[in-house]
A and B are shown apart, each in its own frame.
Chain A
Amino acid sequence: MIKFQMPNLGADMEAGTLVEWRKQLGEFLHRGDIIADVETQKGLIEIEVFEEGTLEKFLVKEGEKVPVGTVLALINDGKSEVTESTVSGEEIQKPEIHPIEDRKEIVHENTELGERIKISPLARKIAEENRIDISLLKGTGPEGSIVKKDIEKAISEVKKPIKDAEKEADKTKEISVKPSGPTSDAMRMAVAAAMSKSNREIPHYYLEKRMDMSKAMDWVKEANKDRPVQNRLLPVAVLIKAVAKALDEVPDLNATWENGLHRKNEINIGFVISLRSGGIVVPAILQSDSKTVDEIMETINDIIPRARAFKLRSSELSQSTFTITNIGEGGADKVFGLIYPPQVGIVGFGEISEQPFAEEGMLGIRPVVDVTLAADHRATDGLIGSRFLAALNRHLQNPEEL
């Protein structure tokens, strides 16, 4: 028997609301199936199972808010002994112990700030799928709660004037509509909790290296030349792949620190995405090392619109093993990150800009990027960090081998 628990989707998550069970009792679950939708500070997350078995019993009802680690359901895998399971499937993360006052305070503030909207789970789901902002609706159900009928009415009203717009490509549609996600206050609290923990507990050390991007940029330009716009690469895809390869060489940075260093087998790079409404989400690009640059770009194209629409899967939020933050065009020259616990490193790319660059006694103007590494000094020393930046630089000088 497997105890299926409320997953921990990041250091900032303390509890989640089970919005809907997506599977029936007695149904056979396959690895990767979506078993439930859970509402968190990061939006409505699809929760996957990582074991196989028959859904035996629900222990938490739809609409209940429970702490991370609470057993939600029992899954019968044919074995008599009881094993614990989190959706990460990798290791069991015990719920973190906080002083009781601490937790109370956070929960209290959340309910104060984000006014609770009464809505049935079914109505909420239909609203999410159709991107209806429920805060604008007036419910006709019991106690003014929003029910399925209200959402359907709202959809029919919205659909009329935008018939033409409907013909737009899916991707544009996805990023164009205001997501009905968590309030920006809840998002702010989530970021605040994770970053306070990081700053409080992790002794960071910082390294920096300026890297010549001319070969990488030429390679991207060449690759994009004959491609239709839809398949074009962004330089960031190359950066992600180069980081994955460097981590493969310096595995102590692809790890977590939980009373000791735990190296991870998979290289799942968390990619910081800022939201227009404020706040950030950090979904993982799973197995970045075994993806080609093209596949990484495809993943980015898929994941950014979903992150902005608050439509991520549990594996994407719980399994990153290292983080990249990328400033991009027109921004700051350097970024010094804060590690996302329990990871042990974050690499920061500033804007790629033209700078004087000397090599072999010659001075030239080249596109360069200032790369920083913030790493956990409990887990590694500067030598390891420095080796990582050197490896990253080497990979960026040989883009055709990525």
Chain B
Amino acid sequence: MTEEEIKTTIFQLLQRIAPETDPSRLMPEENIREALNIDSFDALQFIVAINEKLNVDIPEEDYGKTSNLKSLLAYLTKKLKE
């Protein structure tokens, strides 16, 4: 999976959780949850969706690495290569 494909998937999943937003307009270092107004419950649903779609298990201690697009992409790219 290329980085561009991962990005598209992330946008799709975020769009499902926050349908009225446009995730593709997120800035690389913008806090995703704040920008898209995602609460704790939806944040967990997003982690679950990533797990189901990309088969990547994000342990709780790594939640901090998923806060913006740049770090999330880097994290997922690394995990998918493992």
Contacts and interface: CB of A to CB of B under 8 A. Distances in A.
A234 B37 contact: no
A229 B57 contact: yes
Q: Assign chain B's interface to a size class.
A: 20 to 34
B44 A276 contact: no
B19 A176 contact: yes
B51 interface: yes
Contacts of B48: 169, 171-172, 229-230
Interface in B4-55: 12-13, 15-20, 33-34, 37, 39-45, 47-49, 51-53
Given A168-B49, A171-B48, A176-B19, A304 B58 contact: no
B60 interface: yes
Interface size classification for chain A = 20 to 34
A143 interface: no
Nearest to B56: A229
Given A172-B48, A328-B39, A178 B19 contact: yes
Contact of B49 (A169, A276, A330): A169
B60 A224 contact: yes
A175 B42 contact: yes
A177 interface: yes
A293 to B, nearest CB: 15
Interface in A214-239: 221, 224-225, 228-230, 232, 234-236
Contacts of B52: 168-169, 172
Contacts of A328: 39-40
A159 to B, nearest CB: 16
A102 interface: no
Query: Which among A229, A236, A274, A277 has the greatest number of chain B C-beta atoms within 10 A?
Result: A229
A224 B48 CA distance: 13
Interface string A147-183: 0000000000000000001001101110111100000
Interface string A111-152: 000000000000000000000000000000000000000000
B60 A221 contact: yes
A275 to B, nearest CB: 11
Interface centre among A177, A236, A277, A329 (most CB of B within 10 A): A329
B40 A172 contact: no
Contact of B45 (A165, A175, A277): A175
Contacts of B60: 221, 224-225, 232
Most chain-A Cβ atoms within 10 A of its Cβ — which of B13, B17, B20, B45?
B45
Nearest to A326: B40
B40 A276 contact: no
Contacts of B33: 329-330
A84 B59 CA distance: 53
Contact of B44 (A165, A169, A177, A232): A232
Interface string A276-300: 1100000000000000000000001
A274 B39 CA distance: 10
A251 to B, nearest CB: 29
Interface of B: 12-13, 15-20, 33-34, 37, 39-45, 47-49, 51-53, 57-61
The 9 closest A-B pairs by CB, nearest first: A176-B16, A328-B40, A229-B51, A172-B49, A224-B60, A229-B48, A178-B19, A169-B52, A329-B40
Interface of A: 165, 168-169, 171-173, 175-178, 221, 224-225, 228-230, 232, 234-236, 274, 276-277, 300, 304, 328-330
6 contacts: A168-B52, A175-B45, A178-B20, A229-B51, A234-B44, A328-B39
